[in-house]
Amino acid sequence: MKNIEPIVRLMNGIIDDRTIPRNIRSAVEEAKRDLTERAENSWDIRLSSAISTLDEIINDPNMPMHARTQIWNIVSLLETIKREL
């Protein structure tokens, strides 16, 4: 699905940002894997899994504000794609 390419780029930006705590980068990496490597699941399940993973970390008190904003943006984009399915 080509709609997720910009989202994966945003996720890579977070994963590569060393100012973001490791647990948050790991969760974003897991959500990225849910989208890109879980081909045996339907898109609905893959999107739901990624959204759920990101929702779990969104209120982490150690998260920098710029990362929180980026993750909210990613979740919003994923939910939009999910609604269009």
Residue 58: CATH number of its domain: 1.20.1440.50
Number of neighbours of residue 72 by Cβ within 10 angstroms: 12
Cα atoms found within 13 Å of the Cα of residue 26, Cβ hemisphere only:
3
Reply yes or no on whether the pLDDT at 68 is more than 80.
Answer: yes
Report how far residue 31's alpha carbon sits from residue 78's, in angstroms, rounded to the nearest whole number.
11
Whole-angstrom CA distances from 60 to 35, 54, 78 are 22, 11, 20
pLDDT tens digit string along 11-40?
A: 999 999 999 999 999 999 999 999 998 677
Percent residues over pLDDT 90 in the chain:
87
**Domains held by the chain: number:** 1
Report how far residue 78's alpha carbon sits from residue 11's, in angstroms, rounded to the nearest whole number.
12
Residue 28: CB partners within 8 Å, gap ≥ 6?
11, 14, 15, 54, 57, 71
Residue range of the domain that includes 67: 2-84
